[in-house]
Amino acid sequence: MSSDLLTPTAEQMCFANLNGSCVKTTYSAGPRVILYTVFSIGAMLAVFGNLLVVTSILHFKQLHSPTNFLIASLACADFLVGVTVMPFSMVRSVESCWYFGPSFCTFHTCCDVAFCYSSLFHLCFISIDRYIAVTDPLLYPTKFTVSVSGICIGLSWILPLVYSGAVFFTGAHDDGLEELVSALSCVGGCRPVINQFWILIDLLLFFIPTFVMIILYSNIFLVAQKQAIKIANIGGKAEASGPNKARESKRERKSKRERKAAKTLGITVIAFLISWLPYMIDALIDVLGEFMTPSYVYEILCWFAYYNSAVNPLIYALFYPWFRRAIKLILSGQALKDSSSTIRLFS
């Protein structure tokens, strides 16, 4: 949405018959079609891509593992962004007006914040899971069980939902900013004003898990590199035979699979940070500068963050052969056959 796309043909009120209505910026036909197309593609990818991830993991028994359950729950959060957040934000962004009422604006903002932090907490727990799997593979099955994964999933949902509900449904987010809210508010707007205290809390909730993930993945890749060198040296020094050779081969395959999973999920974390960092930094600048960020810049940053929910399934499709095969089985209808849940997606 650069300056050549933002060429309003006329300015009118969002609600012409209401006093205090927001000013509406009307786009010409070309930019409107482009924006609706781009935003619709993102929403559909978020909905159908993540639905495929959840269906694949829950349907095929071979994919039932603590890590994959976390991934499926993460995909649920991204799916809900595509269902409850992106379609309404699309209308707000293109029409420059909020037509769904103040109550739904609060609900929309609450969902936006909750699902963002839910994704972040899922990724943080996944990084812990991968750290244990790579650094202590022998004890990993006893340390990170399905029950532990369930606890992590529960925390990743309950904490963000309680936090966002407590901040936005109670109105605590704009305490002390009543005059500013009154000056900025208009009928047809839906841009939350958040005071410095809650912005600080938001930043802490974002950056603390971020630093944890950066530290864990840095250690993961160092350990993975050492393991790869060690395996290569063992293979070069001695020729195993019989059961020993098979055992080493199996161990090597498992080690490679864990490293590849850690690499793929590391890319997912990087994509999340690239998507959300600009928005979080702008939120800090905005509250210090009395919310002077232009509305179109705010919309760009929002959609840059929303698109992260559409990117994750594409990452899995690129790096997980089992996901590509699961997609083929689901889309071809073979997943509807009896005993399809026992199909092996990898050796």
Least confident of 15-24, 91-100, 118-127, 223-232: 223-232
User: What pLDDT is stored for residue 161 in this prediction?
Assistant: 95
CATH number at residue 254: 1.20.1070.10
- Backbone dihedral angles phi then psi of residue 191, each to the nearest 5 degrees: -130, 105
Residue 5 lies in a domain: no
Residue 347 lies in a domain: no
What is the mean predicted confidence (pLDDT) over 91-119?
A: 91
d(CA 91, CA 87): 7
d(CA 182, CA 246): 72
Task: Write the CB contacts of 186 (distance below 8 Å, at least 6 apart in sequence).
Answer: 14, 20, 21, 22, 23
- The answer to whether the beta carbons of residues 315 and 268 sit under 8 Å apart is yes
Q: Count how many domains the chain has.
A: 1
Task: Write the CB contacts of 140 (distance below 8 Å, at least 6 apart in sequence).
Answer: 132, 133
Q: Please report which residue ranges of the chain form alpha helices under DSSP H.
A: 29-44, 50-59, 66-80, 86-95, 102-135, 140-143, 146-164, 178-184, 196-237, 242-288, 295-306, 308-319, 321-331
Would the pLDDT of 171 be above 90? Answer: no
Instruction: Indicate the burial class of 97 (C-beta count within 10 angstroms; 0-12, 13-18, 19 or more).
Output: buried
Average pLDDT, rounded, for the chain: 83
SS3 19: coil
For residues 240 and 67, the model is more confident at 67
Q: What is the DSSP string of 104-132?
A: HHHHHHHHHHHHHHHHHHHHHHHHHHHHH
User: What pLDDT is stored for residue 251 in this prediction?
Assistant: 62
User: What pLDDT is stored for residue 339 in this prediction?
Assistant: 84
What is the mean predicted confidence (pLDDT) over 41-61?
A: 94
Would the pLDDT of 263 be above 90? Answer: no
Residue 2 lies in a domain: no
Number of neighbours of residue 251 by Cβ within 10 angstroms: 13
AA identity, residue 314: L
65 confidence band (pLDDT: 50, 70, 90): very high
Q: What is the pTM of this model?
A: 0.85
What is the mean predicted confidence (pLDDT) over 44-54?
A: 95
Q: Which two tokens stand for residue 127?
A: 């990084």
Would the pLDDT of 3 be above 70? Answer: no
For residues 98 and 13, the model is more confident at 98
Residue 1 lies in a domain: no
Residue 3 lies in a domain: no
Q: Which domain holds residue 143?
A: 10-342
AA identity, residue 42: G
For residues 229 and 3, the model is more confident at 229
4 confidence band (pLDDT: 50, 70, 90): very low
Residue 4 lies in a domain: no
Would the pLDDT of 247 be above 60? Answer: no
What is the mean predicted confidence (pLDDT) over 205-234?
A: 81
User: What pLDDT is stored for residue 68 in this prediction?
Assistant: 92
d(CA 83, CA 77): 10
